Structure 1
């Protein structure tokens, strides 16, 4: 058995300290630089990726897979598939050894997995880029180091919670002239097999918290990727299984469970009695389906959808506001769960450092900022990436009919499936237009009677329909205070007055709480104590103390 705990203890200690302080911390370098990852890392990864194409990922009797790059070609990779009952049986057979391992040993194995995933970040970038449509730099960062940070964060939180459980206690209670004495033992018992249901846009960033939280707390894990984005999680599972075997554990502690749109297996797995925890990232329709099927019988951690709002009241940097907002609207073509959709603005406009701006002037300035950002084709391609799902193009076409088009969406030149942001002006009472998530590069500039109504509509709609992020621009401390109270009540993470290099879309591991569980955008927070604590329960044994 290879011992990894001592090798990675210092990093684990750093991660635990960072989670406590919420200060900036990143264990894995985000720059796709040969000076960091090796001068040949990029070329080696491109060759390794090319070698995967057009053949089975691993041998198997039943092979599935039909991934197609949003940048053009089909990947042609197939993956071994198994029936849900077979996957569960393998996990149950492998589970006892993992559950019996002490937390420090498990943490060491998991940090070694993350270390090796980080080493292969260039390969992961190619896999993420050609399944999700993220541009290369985003695919490297979000699919690699940022996702790895999220996995490490989950391990850190799990170790914190497990450390709160003592193994033994000598219990003494005075009882008159006597003393009652008991010896007690406590053990954290895994809740069951963890099922992680992946998404098509951020398969690793959204998948790693659930994978690593369940593993850290002693549960075996079945990873069910989205059929359109199997490869990133297949690479992850392959690495995990190799490290587990080196450490002397059964590889089936982690399994990949690919399926097809025609024969999905997520529901069968989620409802299996041996599945103790379900993590899901995706649309609200299937999220609601899972809640109905599971009916509270097992922990369900979801990140679903939201109508992320922006409220424009006033600003001391109008040009910076427009640049920052334009980038947020364009980044990955609005396919981030944190991307803004609804921009609420008083019909009278807003005060700025450039003087009063009318509603129409603000709209025109946002359009101009988008035009400037996307004027260079190479920069536009790097910001926008590609559209993951063709259905998004149909949503754009439908959204054009919902109001007055201020800026139309259009494809970039080339083979990739692309679309620039669509900006549509609507009235505040047109909630049928802006009151639901319209996933993709679609945003609404909403004409409100006044700024207070804009804030009220933004907060109440997100509480009702869900949101993960909110952004407010104001130079008025009283208005900001009202916004902070309203969005706290709505369960939305609020950003204020972003005009520089930080964007509302971004969520930093170890510092930002991503999703709150307090509105329909999701049931859990990445990452807080509650995300890991219900993945195990406490077994207690007590007996009278020996005389």
Structure 2
């Protein structure tokens, strides 16, 4: 281990120990505050100018071999970023990474973890600047871009490091094995155990959460000894490029080859992901995105272990409730947040066609639908707040999808465009809510990415549960929400959650929402249904990124 890496580990040891304790207790903890007021006032004030200083010029990184310039990002708020990035030659980069991996492996777990913790610490200090990059590539609103793109993403990265440290610490470096032989001398074997990385890791970043969905795979692979190629979405390169620059700076300061974390950008017209994914040296792939491409990776990149978060039919079941206004207000926020462009946003909301019981009496199906529409309208009535919460649509395809889906059911609340006070060309659209019958399964049982949801009229709560079971088993889900005042029904919903391996949020009507996920406590996805084959984050997500190679000799203990 280099002296610099040791110093990094020592300076962050307490944070690591607290993170390990947090994943064991699952209680609230974070070293990265989500309030902008906890960050340097100078850094917060300088963030917009620092972002603007990056525009319309090349973004420099440590690159390997021959390169070419790529770019073309356009902010969902309506302007071109004009940034060019160096695209390394994949063969030359892979060769360099394989050489660099030896020193990274030999440095040991403490060195690698220390470097990872220092990277996260520096990223945290840059959260205000990273927020600008996330906002103007993903379309997230400013507050969400700061929290999800900064401290919450860093939480998930640290969580992965904690699991990696825990998994590697369970392997002793040496052991003396003594087997008694009765009257004869015992057999003595000296054994060594080496943590060996799988190989090169490819992290395929998504456009909507370019840091939050990237950091778990990045840090899980890096901490366990694997070099990482970061392949950003062509529309959201900048946040990943900033992350790469920080990682490279820390690696170099610690005495390692900065190419151990490298950016491999591409364009929509000349994609590289399939080529990279099929490279024999690539042994780990982290992917967030569409079902079609996730399935392609799993089926074709057979030389690699693929950790894929795809898409599912996130579901809410309404049986009965105490306070209709509080529940619809809670759901209104969930449907509006980032214009439904979250892998956790509800899409199918099952309600018995006969209506539901509330503390104020029976409420019909149509009145439940109307109450939800009214709650969304009220929540978004102030345009400035609406634009902040909704953010902008990352892709023009999502905008087109809203138009396509209008004919799939009876419109309860139509989507409308909004004008942003600062960015006149921003793509901002409110939620589209449709009523459908349970028999219209083709409408609500396909993922409709964006601010599109269905209120499904079912025969009964039992029917709602059965439909949810069928759809989630076939298509998957990352979130499952439900409302009931009946404990027997609550037990059935718990059973449903286990049957379909989807995490359950029951009776949320306050400041916690079904599409929120807290690191160190909530397991994001389970890996147990078609929406994702891995969980962020658990031991399985990390431990399979390295193997243990042992050596043994007679009569020696080391």
Q: What are the superposed Cα offsets for residues 487-508 of structure 1, whole Å, 9 maximum, x if unpaired?
A: 1110101100000000000000
Tell me if 1:277 matches 2:284: yes
Aligned length: 544
Per-residue deviation at 1:304? Answer: 0.6
Structure 2 equivalent of residue 17 of structure 1? 21
> Contact conserved, 1:321 with 1:499, CA < 8 A, in 2?
yes
- Check whether the contact 1:87–1:257 (CA below 8 A) recurs between aligned residues: no
1:376 aligned residue:
382
Tell me, in whole angstroms, the C-alpha distance in 2 between the residues paired with 1:166 and 1:67.
47
Contact 2:201 2:283 in 1 (8 A): yes
Question: Which residue of 2 is the match for residue 42 of structure 1?
Answer: 44
Residue equivalent to 1:418? 428
Q: Which residue of 2 aligns with 1:346?
A: 352
Map 1:68-83 onto structure 2 (within 5 A).
Answer: 68-83=74-89
Judge conservation of contact 2:191–2:556 (CA < 8 Å) in 1: no
Specify every segment of 5 or more residues in structure 2 that has no aligned partner in the other structure, as ranges: none
Deviating more after overlay: 152-161 vs 59-68: 59-68
Alignment partners' CA distance in 2, 1:537 and 1:384: 44
Residue of structure 2 equivalent to 1:335: 341
Distance 1:194 1:175 in 2: 46
For each residue in 1:108-152, what CA deviation from the matched residue of structure 2 results, as whole angstroms up to 9, or x when unmatched? 111111111011101100000000000000000000000001010
User: Partner residue of 1:89?
Assistant: 95
Structure 2 counterpart of 1:503, from 513, 523, 526: 513
State the secondary structure of the residue aligned to 1:206. coil
Question: What does 1:400-439 correspond to in 2, within 5 Å?
Answer: 400-413=406-419, 414-439=424-449
Describe the SS at the equivalent of 1:356: strand
How far off its partner does 1:298 sit? 2.2
In structure 2, the CA distance between the partners of 1:546 and 1:386, relative to structure 1 (3 Å rule), is closer
Contact 1:332 1:386 in 2 (8 A): yes
1:546 deviates by 5.0
2:134 pairs with 1:128 = yes
What TM-score comes out, normalization by structure 2 length? 0.96
Residue 84 of structure 1 contacts residue 265 of structure 1 at CA under 8 Å; is this kept in 2? no
Residue of structure 2 aligned with 1:523, choices 524, 533, 536: 533
Pairwise CA distance, 1:107: 1.0
5+ long unaligned stretches in structure 1: none
Instruction: Check conservation: 2:176, 2:556, Cα contact below 8 A.
Output: no
User: Distance in 2 between the 1:138 and 1:546 partners?
Assistant: 57
Q: Secondary structure at the match of 1:424?
A: strand
Q: 2:193 aligns with which of 181, 186, 197?
A: 186
* Residues 111-510 of structure 1 mapped to structure 2, 5 A cutoff: 111-178=117-184, 179-295=186-302, 297-413=303-419, 414-510=424-520
> Is contact 2:391-2:428 (8 Å) kept?
yes
More displaced 10-residue stretch of structure 1: 529-538 or 85-94: 85-94
SS in 1 for 2:58: coil
